[in-house]
């Protein structure tokens, strides 16, 4: 029996995830070595400053991340600095130096992934990114390998831990948005720029990656529809609750006859659905395959060691597959030749073409005929109302009118909202929240 050489790893970035990865790799070294069939050793760490959670005694530490990708003794570069530009440069140089790459950087993969995978394929190296989607949940591996026999019909998930943490604490404790966001930042959940979390950009990065793996299409982040949670009010949370729904921030991607839906937005989910009961930093993704039916993946979507769990699992895969010829390895995005055949791929649908149900809240002057005028506008756009509530008001006061509609096309709803907002009876803008209406009966 031949004994394999240790796999030598260089970690770039020693923040939340870098520190977690260092500690998990060190603490569980024996089990990891037995699983990989050889030790996985930390050869070098690049950090701008110490991480108090890590004991770096005896470790080769540099403050130059590029020293790691140029270090001839390193087999695998672990990119945990985050961001687009320097990370892209670092990863492309690592690849060009023949090193395998593990990254947790969804922004990098969603935006520069096509270029990175092309370069990696030419060089015959692996790029693994399990931590990039839903932190510790092994959803990339499940979708890419575990569901490999299925035609994927849709997937929907809570894929931003910070956003879910904020919505959960606002709803359960009536706390202020900014106060809960500061707490999520202190816990290490948020992105360096937290607008990525609250405006849905981070979730759109992750959805882009999942959709590409699900349907075998190139990464197309620029076509994702992105709406965040910053405009969700406690009034809407309460109204949704009265109607039997919970508001969650969902990433949804469906395969339709017209193309692929790729959308991230706040969504009303019926309280009894599993996704409605995912709280705090937890993430969950429901995936519908034609053979398996619905499956659900649940766990911590952010945090040092949950995310490190995924980084280390990737290192194990890389360690095992280093001895396999590149053409026999699992393709980066599950399907072979995605980027080469991009002109034949199904198109991402413009948002105006999607069909869904809606929650609408408008503030109206309480005078005779207002409901009839609202109903006429909706009916002229072919939109039928499933439920309507109007609160009692005293003379001249603005009252909320809350409606749930049946499924309709987004373009019709855009036109109806435009007309509603121009009514003299309606004050301000109309709040629209889409209602989850995915069919999970396989
Ligand atoms: N925090 C989390 O729960 C999760 C984060 N991620 C991703 O993991 C990556 C890292 O995120 P965090 O650890 O949260 O960020 P962080 O900000 O805690 O850590 C990044 C570290 O990289 C260092 N760094 C940045 N540029 C550097 C450079 N040029 N040279 C040397 N050091 C440099 C920073 O000083 C910092 O210590 C990001 O891509 C993020 O999106 C993914 C899943 C979960
Ligand atoms: N900021 C992200 C971190 C994990 O991807 C999140 O909150 O989900
Ligand atoms: Na993951």
Does 209 sit in the ligand 2 pocket, CB within 6 Å?
no
Q: Which of 151, 107, 128 is nearest to 21 (CA)?
A: 128
The predicted structure's pLDDT at residue 345: 76
Chain mean position to CA 415 = 30
| Residue 402, pLDDT above cutoff 90 | yes
> Phi and psi of 182, rounded to 5°?
-60, -35
pLDDT digits (tens, 9 = 90+) for 292-324: 999 999 999 999 999 999 999 999 999 999 999
Q: Where do the DSSP E strands lie in 29-126?
A: 40-46, 61-62, 76-79, 100-103
Between the CA of 153 and the centroid of ligand 3 the distance, in Å, is 20
Q: Assess whether pLDDT exceeds 90 at residue 189.
A: yes
Q: How is domain 7-137+305-344 classified at the architecture level of CATH?
A: 3-Layer(aba) Sandwich (3.40)
> Binding site annotation covers 146?
no
Architecture (CATH level 2) of domain 351-435: 2-Layer Sandwich (3.30)
**Predicted local distance difference test score (pLDDT) of residue 362:** 96
State mean pLDDT over 2-25: 95
Quote the percentage of the chain above a pLDDT of 90.
90
CB atoms within 10 A of CB 290: 11
Q: What is the 109 CA–ligand 2 centroid distance (Å)? A: 14
363-373 mean pLDDT: 90
Average pLDDT of span 92-96: 98
What local confidence, expressed as pLDDT, does residue 391 receive?
Answer: 77
User: Where is average pLDDT lowest: 142-146, 150-154, 219-223, 393-397?
Assistant: 393-397
Q: In what order do the strands lie in the sheet with 100-103?
A: 61-62, 40-46, 7-12, 76-79, 100-103, 127-128
Q: Is 160 in the pocket of ligand 2 (CB under 6 A)?
A: yes
Residue owning the nearest CA to atom 4 of ligand 2: 302
Q: What is the pLDDT of residue 368?
A: 84
Average of pLDDT values for 83-96?
98
Determine the pLDDT at residue 394: 62
**From the alpha carbon of 165, which atom of ligand 2 is closest?**
7
Residue 122, number of CB atoms within 10 A of its CB:
11
Positive or negative: CA dihedral 43, 48, 51, 55: positive
Q: Residue 3 — pLDDT band, cuts 50, 70, 90? A: confident
pTM above 0.90, yes or no: yes
Specify the residue with its C-alpha closest to ligand 1, atom 36. Answer: 15
Higher pLDDT, 269 or 3: 269
pLDDT by residue (tens digit) across 127-169?
999 999 999 999 999 999 999 999 999 999 999 999 999 999 9
In this predicted structure, what is the pLDDT of residue 64?
98
Q: Given CA atoms 179, 181, 183, 185 in this order, what sign does their dihedral have?
A: negative
Residues counted in the chain: 442
pLDDT mean over 347-369 = 94
pLDDT at 442 over 60: no
Encode pLDDT of 108-127 as tens digits: 999 999 999 999 999 999 99
What's the mean per-residue pLDDT of the chain? 95
- Each domain of the chain, given as residue ranges in start order, spans 7-137+305-344, 139-299, 351-435
Pocket perturbation via mutation, ligand 2, pick of 105, 164, 189, 250 by most ligand atoms within 8 A of CB? 189
Asked: is 139-299 a CATH 3.40.50.2300 domain? The reply is no
pLDDT of residue 340: 65
17 is in an annotated binding site: yes
């Amino acid at each position: 029996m031949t004994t394999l050489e240790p796999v030598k790893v260089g970690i770039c970035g020693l923040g939340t995830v870098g520190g977690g990865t260092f500690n998990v790799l060190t603490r569980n070294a024996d089990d990891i070595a037995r699983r990989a069939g050889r030790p996985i050793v930390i050869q070098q760490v690049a950090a701008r400053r110490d991480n108090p959670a890590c004991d770096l005694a005896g470790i080769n530490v540099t403050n130059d991340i590029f020293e790691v990708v140029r270090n001839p003794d390193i087999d695998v570069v672990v990119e945990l600095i985050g961001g687009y530009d320097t990370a892209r440069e670092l990863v492309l140089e690592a690849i060009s130096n023949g090193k395998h790459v593990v990254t947790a950087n969804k922004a990098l993969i969603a935006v520069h992934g096509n270029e990175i995978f092309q370069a990696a394929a030419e060089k015959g190296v692996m790029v693994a990114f399990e931590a990039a989607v839903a932190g510790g949940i092994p959803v990339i591996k499940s979708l890419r390998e575990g569901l490999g026999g299925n035609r994927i019909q849709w997937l929907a998930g809570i894929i931003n831990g910070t956003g879910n943490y904020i919505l959960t604490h606002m709803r359960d404790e009536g706390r202020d948005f900014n106060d809960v966001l500061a707490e999520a930042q202190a816990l290490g959940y948020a992105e360096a720029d937290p607008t990525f979390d609250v405006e849905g950009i981070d979730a759109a990065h992750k959805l882009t990656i999942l959709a590409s793996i699900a349907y075998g299409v190139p990464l197309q982040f620029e076509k994702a529809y992105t709406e965040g949670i910053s405009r969700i009010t406690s009034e809407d949370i309460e109204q949704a609750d009265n109607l039997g729904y919970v508001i969650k921030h969902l990433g949804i991607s469906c395969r339709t006859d017209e193309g692929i839906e790729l959308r991230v937005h706040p969504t009303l989910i019926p309280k009894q659905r599993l996704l409605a009961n995912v709280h705090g930093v937890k993430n969950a993704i429901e995936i519908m395959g034609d053979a398996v039916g619905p499956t659900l993946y649940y766990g911590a979507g952010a945090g040092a060691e949950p995310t490190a769990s995924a980084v280390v699992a990737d290192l194990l895969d890389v360690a095992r597959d280093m001895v396999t010829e590149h053409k026999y390895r699992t393709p980066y995005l599950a399907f072979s030749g995605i980027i080469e055949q991009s002109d034949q791929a199904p198109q991402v649908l413009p948002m105006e073409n999607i069909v869904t149900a809606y929650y609408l809240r408008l503030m109206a002057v309480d005078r005779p005929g207002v409901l009839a005028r609202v109903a006429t506008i909706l009916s002229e756009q072919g939109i039928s109302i499933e439920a309507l509530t109007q609160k009692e008001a005293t003379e001249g006061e603005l009252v909320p009118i809350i409606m749930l509609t049946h499924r309709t096309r987004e373009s019709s709803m855009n036109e109806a909202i435009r007309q509603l907002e121009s009514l003299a009876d309606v004050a301000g803008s109309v709040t629209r929240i889409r209602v989850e209406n995915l069919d999970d009966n396989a």
